A and B are shown apart, each in its own frame.
Chain A
Amino acid sequence: MTTQDKDPIYKTDALIAEDIDAYLETHQHKTMLRFITCGSVDDGKSTLIGRLLYDSKMIFEDQLATLEADSKKSGTQGEGIDFALLVDGLAAEREQGITIDVAYRFFATEKRKFIVADTPGHEQYTRNMVTGASTADLAVILIDARKGVLTQTKRHSYLVNLLGIKNVVLAVNKMDLVDYSQEVFDQIVADYTEFAASIGIEAFVPIPISGYMGDNITAPSENTPWYKGTALLPHLETVEIESTKEPKSAPFRMPVQWVNRPNLDFRGFSGLIASGVIQPGDPVRVLPSGKTSKVAKIVTYEGDRAMAVAGEAVTLTLEDEIDCSRGQVIVAAQSPLEVADQFESTIIWMDEQEMVPGRAYWLKIGTQMVSATVQQPKYEVNVNTQEQLATKTLDLNAIGVANITTDREIPFAPYVENHDLGGFILVDKISNQTVAAGMINFALRRAQNIHWQATDIDRDAHAAMKNQKPAVVWLTGLSGSGKSTIGNIVERKLARMNRHTFLLDGDNVRHGLNKDLGFTEADRIENIRRVGEVAKLMTDAGLIVITAFISPFRSEREMVRQMMQPGEFVEVFVDTPLEVAEARDVKGLYAKARSGQLKNFTGIDSPYEAPDAPEIRVDTTEMTPEEAADAIIARLIP
């Protein structure tokens, strides 16, 4: 073994052998620190983590044997032990020699349990680093002493600060390769100090280390007599973090996760306390409903409690029978949360498919899921230079600031105040993938000043006067599939039956209402959104609306469906194969698209997403337009 094996303090604990009961007693009172390590590809992150595991006796003999064998086979440290092999996980990654995901590692000393998120240094993996940082109390930013502060260092520091990590350690690694030079260390610290201040990092702790040789890891190294601070591990053991501080006078907040109803006599609200302290008798308010009550009991498996604090998972019962369900937030009555439906937020895009402004995504914040749309970003941040750039969208690993609108009011706190009540994820409604992480900066005031005006003659009254059930017949299909033809026949037939209808046609709408829109993805979405809103107003007026739009994207058709009352939206898929539609080419558009004169043409250079489960599917190769119209009418007027 060429690695040093010096400090025995962390390797054995005499108490274990002498008095196990006393040992268990002390260890039950350990605290926990979650931290991330970040650095560039060759800065030695994995080696450092391997070293911490090794020095805290988390590596067993069999693992060490495997490690020694692996080191000889594929290690990069010659005859020495390659600690990096210990922490690089999946087989494919091991062969490539890089870490490509977030891996969680565990070790403990007599003072603390540690969970380390090993996050990658590769440029394209911002998403993993943000994931690892979201749960971290502290960040260790690694710098290769030979290379100094790099673009990567700046990127990682920016992300650490963005995610609100207050404790930062600057670990200047590979000091053995610069002869433990104080000059080199001081220069790097000076460079970093300047940069850190510029992005808002208020304080950091610089430590000169060698992960490979073990310098300043568990104890001060003899190789750096000029360094007077603590070694890395003792620092991690003693640094004060949020969860070990006295709970501040932060107000009580608990998102309701689950309503606990074992029988008719018990109704409890289960959740994890996001901030503050709660005691029986405390007055509380349920948001967004605003109803108030008092805490009756704090119920746990061990019995009722006199108090519970932030970070604990409890069940509360209230003195009054008030409505409260999953997604609502129970807060201290005298200091309620803000409630709003429009926000400025910082968004980190995490999906291969870029963000589509105007599209509806699921937004999960706390324990509630709402529908939300993101506007075109105000700007994107260049994470390397922290410059603000103009952009129309956000793609994978991009970070930007944009306004978000939710379909209902939600209680929240700005992310800087509370991560649980200000951090959210966006989920694609079709693929169900988590596509973005976001942080609420503040609510937009205009949301609070526009109220819904209730009118006396409501939609039911309008429909009753016409003696019909409002509906939206949504014809979707390729250009030239026959949507307008079928729509026209449907309307004619309904008129003969004395039904009051209106046909919204794609081409016609673009002459007026949507004149300002082109054919890019964002414009097409806005086109459909406006048509959806118009159709909705018309159904409120009691009409049967027929629309003929290509409407190529599933998400937008789904968005319109959600706008309508249940059962009111009838999606009709006018299914005509591309070859057939192209052969017809009534308007000569396919020819233009093929010759390149027309861009973003559905079916040619822009996709058409066929409906998965339309209410009606019309196969125009087998059905005449008349037959199709009859099928639609049979559904509307049974």
Chain B
Amino acid sequence: MTSKTLTHLQRLEAESIHILREVAAEAENPVMLYSVGKDSAVMLHLAKKAFYPSPPPFPLMHVDTTWKFQDMYKLRDKAARDAGMELIVYQNPEAREKGINPFDHGSLHTDMWKTEGLKQALDKHGFDAAFGGARRDEEKSRAKERVFSFRTASHRWDPKNQRPELWRLYNARKAKGESMRVFPISNWTELDIWQYIHLEGIEIVPLYMAEERPTVERDGMLLMVDDDRFPLKEGETPVMRSIRFRTLGCYPLTGAVESTAKTLPEVIQETLLTTTSERQGRAIDHDQAASMEKKKQEGYF
């Protein structure tokens, strides 16, 4: 064998590894934000590859809302252990104190636990670079996000003031107090992610695969009753349905789809044949048009 053509997944993988290494080499105190979802799983897997045989030279951090699915917590702890990385779990103490939850507080839940929580966690540990698993194909405003995205000292994103990114050259210089979010899987699509998980045998939360689970239907969304904090309304009784999730977040905010796809290839099959986009399952995107962009300017990932 003297020659070889790289496939699209191999090119994407090499690009992501290059980005991960650039940050490890240039940032003073990087961290990988880990949400336990499939994108995070791929990002973590790429980090293991990028630095092998060393463990990734930065910690994993989960900005927790206390409202994730139980299965997510289980995999989170295991994944960090397997990668040989330190796991930092951060919960916004103010949100905890006030008992902020998705049932009573609407969008305040995301603001306080996630947006504020993330800012607090980054400040507390003095991280100057945070990897995130966002992809450009997820949403319109993300399509224009840079791979290295700069935030002011107050964590704001200014879409008008982002640095041009040419070739494979990323400018990681910044003033004291400023930080950057880095998105190593910017150029991956949902299908790329699934194919890569399949090809590489990456462990993901079982909730992505269909199973009989207790559910209730609310506002057109199918919600899973993951624990006894779920306040059932009068006349509501959880119904067992065969469901799976296309994205994972806080369980009261994450809509399931009815499905019988129990294996990864079956999930990919459904994904390819499906007619609705991935983010439709997330309540926060329905707030208003261009809502993601608003949230991003405020500091939500």
Which residues on A are within 8 Å of B, measured CB to CB?
A: 13, 16-17, 20-21, 23-24, 27-32, 60-63, 66, 70, 87-91, 94, 101-106, 108, 112-113, 115, 127-128, 130-131, 134-135, 243-247, 257-258, 260-262, 266, 268, 270-272, 277, 299-301, 306-307, 309, 311-313, 315, 326, 350, 362, 364-365, 367, 419-420, 423-425, 427, 432-434, 437
In the bound assembly, the distance between CA atoms of A257 and B14 in angstroms comes to 13
Contacts beyond the supplied A87-B140, A87-B143: 13 A-B pairs with Cβ under 8 Å: A32-B8, A115-B187, A134-B167, A135-B166, A135-B167, A257-B21, A257-B25, A272-B17, A306-B1, A307-B2, A311-B6, A425-B164, A432-B173
Q: Which residues of B contact A420 (CB under 8 A)?
A: 167-168
Contact between B175 and A432, CB atoms less than 8 A apart: yes
Verify A63–B277 contact, CB threshold 8 A: yes
5 A-B pairs, CB-CB below 8 angstroms? A31-B5, A61-B275, A272-B14, A307-B1, A313-B50
- B88 contacts A by Cβ under 8 Å: no
* Nearest CB in chain A to that of B52: its residue: A301
Q: Is B189 an interface residue (CB 8 A)?
A: yes
Query: Which residues of A have CB within 8 Å of B52?
Result: 299-301, 315
CA distance A423 to B165 in the complex (A): 12
Chain B residue with minimal CB distance to A13? B272
Residue in A closest to B163 when the chains form the complex, CB atoms: A434
Residue of B164, B265, B266 most packed against chain A (CB within 10 A): B164
Cβ-defined contact, B166 with A31, below 8 A: no
Per CB-CB distance, the 7 closest pairs between chain A and chain B, nearest first, are: A32-B8, A91-B290, A313-B17, A60-B277, A262-B54, A113-B8, A134-B166
Least distance between A305 CB and chain B CB atoms (Å): 11
User: Cβ of B78: which chain A residues have Cβ within 8 Å of it?
Assistant: none
Decide: A299 and B5 in contact? CB cutoff 8 A: no
Nearest A residue to B9, CB-CB: A28
A20 and B265 form a contact (CB under 8 A): yes
**How far does the Cβ of A265 sit from chain B's closest Cβ, in whole Å?**
10
Asked whether any CB of chain A lies closer than 8 Å to the CB of B86, the reply is no
- Across the interface, which residues of B come within 8 angstroms of A423, CB to CB? 166-167, 169
Which residue in B167, B273, B289 is a CB contact (below 8 Å) of A16?
B273
Give the residues in chain B near A326, CB-CB below 8 Å.
25
The answer on a CB contact under 8 Å between A91 and B293 is: yes
Closest Cβ–Cβ distance, residue B56 to chain A (whole Å): 11
CB of B13 within 8 Å of the partner chain? yes
Interface residues of B in 69-111 (CB under 8 A from A): none
Most buried by B among A301, A367, A427: A301
Give the shortest distance, in Å, between A332 (CB) and chain B (any CB): 15
Residues of A within 8 A of B163 (CB): 433-434
Q: Are B173 and A112 in contact (CB under 8 A)?
A: no
Q: In the complex, which of the residues A60, A362, A419 contacts B167, with contact meaning CB atoms closer than 8 Å?
A: A419
Residue among A13, A24, A134 with most chain B CB within 10 A: A24
Choice from B1, B25, B167, B266 contacting A20 with Cβ under 8 Å: B266
A313 to B137, CA, bound (A): 24
Q: A108-B191, A270-B50 are in contact. Are A434 and B164 (CB under 8 A)?
A: yes
Residue from the set B52, B169, B174, B293 with the largest chain A CB neighbour count within 10 Å: B169
**B125 lies within 8 A of chain A by Cβ:** no
Question: What bracket does the count of chain B residues touching chain A fall in?
Answer: 35 or more
Known contacts A28-B9, A29-B7, A434-B171; decide if A299 and B14 are in contact (CB<8 Å): no
Residues from 4 to 27 in B contacting A, C-beta threshold 8 Å: 4-14, 17-18, 21-22, 24-25
Contacting pair B144 A21 (CB below 8 A): no
Residue of B nearest to A135 (CB): B167
- Chain A proximity of B228: nearest CB distance (Å): 32
Q: A261-B54, A364-B169 are in contact. Are A60 and B275 (CB under 8 A)?
A: yes
Q: How far is the CA of A63 from the CA of B139 in the complex (A)?
A: 10
Contact A257 B171 (CB under 8 A): no
- A435 and B3 CA atoms in complex are apart in Å by 38
Q: How far is the CA of A300 from the CA of B10 in the complex (A)?
A: 13
Task: Chain A residues near B293: list those with CB within 8 A.
Answer: 90-91
A244 to chain B: closest residue by CB = B5
Complex Cα gap A266–B272 (Å): 44
> Which partner residue on chain B sits nearest A101 by CB separation?
B144
Query: In the complex, what residues of B have CB within 8 A of residue A104's CB?
Result: 136, 143-144, 186-187
Q: B25, A367: Cβ atoms under 8 Å?
A: yes
Give every chain B residue within 8 A of A312 (Cβ-Cβ). 6, 10, 14
Asked if A106 meets B187 with Cβ closer than 8 Å, knowing A128-B164, A266-B53, A420-B167, the reply is yes
- B269: Cβ under 8 A from any A Cβ: yes
Give CA–CA (A350, B161) in the complex, Å.
12
Whole-angstrom CA separation of A538 from B275 in the bound complex: 75
B54 touching A260, Cβ below 8 Å: yes
Residues of B near A21 (CB, < 8 A) are: 265
In the bound complex, do residue A247 and residue B164 qualify as a contact, i.e. CB atoms below 8 Å apart? no
Q: How far is the CA of A61 from the CA of B10 in the complex (A)?
A: 30
The smallest beta-carbon distance between A349 and chain B, in angstroms, is: 11
Known: A17-B269, A20-B268. A301 touches B48 (CB 8 A): yes
Residue B280 lies at the interface, judged by CB distance under 8 Å to chain A = yes
Q: How far is the CB of A629 from chain B (nearest CB, A)?
A: 32
- Interface positions of B from 111 to 168, Cβ below 8 Å from A: 136-137, 140-141, 143-144, 159, 163-168
The smallest C-beta distance from A70 to any residue of chain B, in angstroms, reads 8
Q: Most B CB atoms within 10 A — which of A105, A258, A299?
A: A258
A425 to B171, Cβ gap below 8 A? yes
A309 surroundings in chain B (CB, below 8 A): 3-4, 6
> Could you tell me the distance in whole angstroms from the C-beta of A27 to the nearest C-beta in chain B?
6
Q: Are B14 and A313 in contact, CB atoms less than 8 angstroms apart?
A: yes
- B269 contact set on A, CB distance < 8 A: 16-17, 20, 23
Residues of A within 8 A of B140 (CB): 87-90
Taking a contact as CB atoms closer than 8 A, the residue among B168, B169, B195 that contacts A24 in the complex is B195
Give the chain B neighbours of A102 by CB distance below 8 A.
144
Flag if B13 contacts A313 (CB, 8 Å).
Answer: yes
Residues of A within 8 A of B174 (CB): 432
Chain B hits for A29, CB < 8 A: 7
Whether B192 lies near A113 (C-beta < 8 A) is yes
Which B residues lie within 8 Å of A20 (CB)? 265-266, 268-269
Q: Which residues of A contact B10 (CB under 8 A)?
A: 311-312
Assess whether A61 is in contact with B276, with CB atoms less than 8 Å apart: yes
Please measure, in the bound complex, the distance between the C-alpha atom of A30 and the C-alpha atom of B175, giving whole angstroms: 42
| Chain B residue nearest to A86 in the complex (CB) | B140
Q: Are A106 and B136 touching (Cβ within 8 A)?
A: yes
Chain B 31-51 residues near chain A, CB threshold 8 A: 48-51
Do B5 and A432 touch across chains, with their CB atoms under 8 A apart? Answer: no
From residue A93, how far is it (CB to closest CB) to chain B in Å? 9
Q: Is the pair B25, A258 in contact by a Cβ cutoff of 8 Å?
A: yes
- Known contacts A30-B8, A89-B141, A367-B25: A260-B169 contact under CB 8 Å: no
- Structural contact, A62 and B2, CB atoms closer than 8 A: no
Given A32-B11, A313-B13; A62-B280 close (CB under 8 Å)? yes
Q: Within the assembled complex, what's the spacing in Å between the Cα atoms of A87 and B139?
A: 10
Whole-angstrom distance between the alpha carbons of A540 and B6 in the complex?
A: 55
Residue among B167, B187, B195 facing the most chain A CB atoms (10 A cut-off): B167
A residues in contact with B141, CB < 8 Å: 89-91
Which partner residue on chain A sits nearest B178 by CB separation? A432
Give Cα distance in the complex from A94 to B144, angstroms: 13
A112 touches B8 (CB 8 A): yes
Q: Which residue of B lies closest to A364 (CB)?
A: B169
Chain B 166-206, CB-CB to A under 8 Å as 1, else 0, gives 11110101110000000000110101100100110000000
